[in-house]
Amino acid sequence: MARVAWLERWARRIGALEALVLFAMVVVGVWRAARRPKGRTVGRGPLPAYALAGAAEVGGMFLLYRPLPVRLARRLRVVALILGSLLYTAGVGLTIWGRLTLGQDYNVSALVETELFAGQRLVTTGPFRLVRHPMYLGIVLAALGGTLLYRTWTLAILLGSTPALIVRARREERALFAEFGEEWRAYARRVPAGLAFVSD
């Protein structure tokens, strides 16, 4: 059991480093996005509300970083460690790949608003060749893997927020269709959404 605990500690440390890299990439992306000229907007939501909601989300995640009331037998703990590490790393990796592929066209959206840039391009390369929402799929995979690996309320609640990602994905698709029309429709016919319940 001591060896499993040691492996869990190291897997969790590596996972924390992966999360820090992703968080830094998001912060840099948001900072750059704030300086780009804005284009089409779908929905309405004032910027201060985004900042407040983001701060509340990060604060809530910090406060809820408590263990789930779950005790696993040794065998299940090993399975959770292996499966959790694989899903978490794959999810974070897919999210980072999507973020890098978007490059200067990366922006954050919210439940209430999606904003494109002036001169926005339709990105269909990298992971966007495989699924239309690789970053959201990556978040779901990372949350599932993280729940198995860390077994905390924070990750379980993040996994439970999947419906919010679906709402955001639908709003983004409406904005992209409004901007790119038939080019978007052809892309959407060719490439699956990557999340259930997102219109095809």
- pLDDT per 10-residue tile (average), the chain, 200 residues: 90 95 91 84 62 67 83 93 97 96 85 78 96 95 95 89 88 90 95 76
| pLDDT score of 156 | 87
**155 domain residue, yes or no:** yes
| Structure letter (DSSP) for residue 1 | -
**Tokens found for residue 109:** 């959206």
139-154 as b/e: b if 16+ CB within 10 A: bbbbbbbbbbbbbbbb
| pLDDT score of 160 | 87
**131 domain residue, yes or no:** yes
For residue 128, the enclosing domain spans 2-190
**196 domain residue, yes or no:** no
Q: How far is CA 88 from CA 93, 101, 113, 145, in A?
A: 8, 20, 28, 4
| pLDDT score of 158 | 85
Q: Domain tally for the chain?
A: 1
| pLDDT score of 63 | 77
**198 domain residue, yes or no:** no
* Best CA proximity match to 15, nearest among 136, 124, 168, 155: 155
Give kind and range of the element (H or E) at residue 25.
Answer: helix 2-33
**158 domain residue, yes or no:** yes
**7 domain residue, yes or no:** yes
| Main-chain phi, psi angles of 104, to 5 degrees | -70, -10
Residue pLDDT, tens place only, 56-83: 667 777 777 888 998 999 999 999 999 9
Residue 67's beta-bridge partner residues? 152
**199 domain residue, yes or no:** no
**166 domain residue, yes or no:** yes
- The domain that contains 81 carries what CATH number? 1.20.120.1630
